[in-house]
Structure 1
Amino acid sequence: MKQDLLYKFIQNALREDVGNGDHTSLSTIPSNAVGSAKLLIKENGVVSGVKIALEIFKAVDPKLKVEVKINDGTPVKINDVVFTVSGNARSILTAERLVLNTMQRMSGITTTTRRIVDLLSSTSTKVLDTRKTTPNIRFLEKEAVKIGGGVNHRFGLYDMILIKDNHIDYAGGIANAINAAHQYLKDKALGLQIEIEVRDFLELGQVLEVGGIDRILLDNFNFNDLKKAVKIIDGRFKTEASGGITEENALEFAKCGVNYISMGALTHSVKSLDMSLKAIV
């Protein structure tokens, strides 16, 4: 994980939440009050974001002491205690909501990803995330996918060339798009992989004729057509299926023989995992 992104995220999030002061804590709790709290799980799942929580506590108050009992990627059940934190009571409460918001979101993504990975365990297909993420916390959401056993697709627009339907249409066809991409990479001295989306067998045939790509994205193919497409490609390129893939049908897509399935649902509509930070009294 990029530490500069994490640092900026924590500072911006604290600035958003604390503003010019945690006036509730400042007005009700003595400055020298100390205490302890526990991160309590309220829903079965897979925990994620523990390492991020440690950085948040450190940023709020380096003197806070955290004892981790359950690490990232570990299945948890109701009433499990992930960690305890002790030190200045005001500091604990200042960090509380940012810790919870981050861990609940990440744990929800990790839990969902782990379920999908387990569903696909009888196949060789890997599950990919997408760029359908929450702005400015993509790095956390993609980290949560990895913790759940999924595979990160490109992080952004800069680390892979992914020629999709709109690119093909604007470029004037598949051959134009692929050839232009190669010329661009040559001109810029970039070593990026090229993936191209196809919508039907006509486009698939054109891609196979032109070649020069690393992966073919088979978009919105039904199961029969997807199996047929994989057979036609015959291992010459990596294959990825996308479009309408859910937890309920993920295994059927995987059984079609693709190398990857990509699921925006891993990050764009996942349910957070319920947990709370409770004072130990």
Structure 2
Amino acid sequence: LHIRGNARAMLTAERSALNTVQHLSGIATMTREYVAKIEGTGATLLDTRKTIPGLRVIEKYAVRMGGGQNHRMGLWDAAMVKDNHVAVAGGIEEAVRRAVSSGVETIIVEVDRIDQIEPALSEGANHLLLDNFTPEMLREAVAVIDGRAKTEASGGITLETIRKKAETGVDYLSVGRLTQSAPAADIGLDFKSE
């Protein structure tokens, strides 16, 4: 990229512009590495809502540019029932019932054990987030779910583990580090006098 303009204005904007481009390019680059690892498995890479305040829209754009897809943009996209919701509601069934009664179309339920799958499905969950499951547990969960809901592997997924988890038959793999801790790309701005 070559730009021309007032030197003072360009020097004023240089660091902010470079920091932003480096950060977003780092996200896109890391996303592409993860997408390449799961190529051919049929699974889709998702980001999470773990973004820097004020940068969610552009960080999620960078994920798409790297070949990933966006999970929820905010709390309004889907109801996500997590372990704290289950604890407050008194059980997974009641927590899912409350989410369903809210009228939200997509009900995502985080489960961390196989025995939580049937109660979540029986109450209307249509997307199960299988949290910190081993590949063996994921394979078992996918068989139990048997297409009745979308499946998502999440928690501690790295470049080294993603392929084995993708090969279990899950629909999605979500990786928070895409936006949370992608290293910045090395991009500079060099001035030339004319």
1:109·1:272 contact (CA, 8 Å) conserved in 2? yes
Structure 2 match to 1:255: 167
Q: CA–CA distance in 2 between the matches of 1:266 and 1:87?
A: 34
Q: In structure 2, what residue type is equivalent to 1:109?
A: I
1:85·1:92 contact (CA, 8 Å) conserved in 2? no
The answer to which of 262-271 and 106-115 deviates more is 262-271
Structure 2 match to 1:175: 93
Secondary structure of 1:218's match? strand
Matches within 5 A, 1:125-140: 125-140=43-58
Task: Write 1 or 2 for the structure with the bigger share of strand.
Answer: 1
RMSD after superposition: 1.1
Consecutive unaligned residues in structure 2, runs of 5 or more? none
Q: In structure 1, what residue type is equivalent to 2:13?
A: A
Deviation of 1:269 (Å): 1.3
Deviation by residue 1:240-270 (Cα, 9 ceiling, x = unmatched): 0111101111111101110000101111111
Structure 2 match to 1:202: 115
Matches within 5 A, 1:37-116: 83-116=1-34
Secondary structure of 2:12's match? helix
Distance 1:158 1:208, change over 3 A: closer
Q: Pick the aligned partner of 1:222 from 134, 139, 161.
A: 134
Q: Which protein is bigger by CA-based radius of gyration?
A: 1
| Percent identical residues | 47
Q: In structure 2, what residue type is equivalent to 1:126?
A: T
Q: CA–CA distance in 2 between the matches of 1:143 and 1:155?
A: 11
Deviation by residue 1:119-165 (Cα, 9 ceiling, x = unmatched): 11121101111111111111111111011010100012222111111
Indicate the structure whose relative CO is greater, using CA pairs within 8 Å and at least 6 residues apart: 2
Structure 2 match to 1:144: 62
Structure 2 match to 1:276: 188
Secondary structure of 1:86's match? coil
Secondary structure of 2:2's match? strand
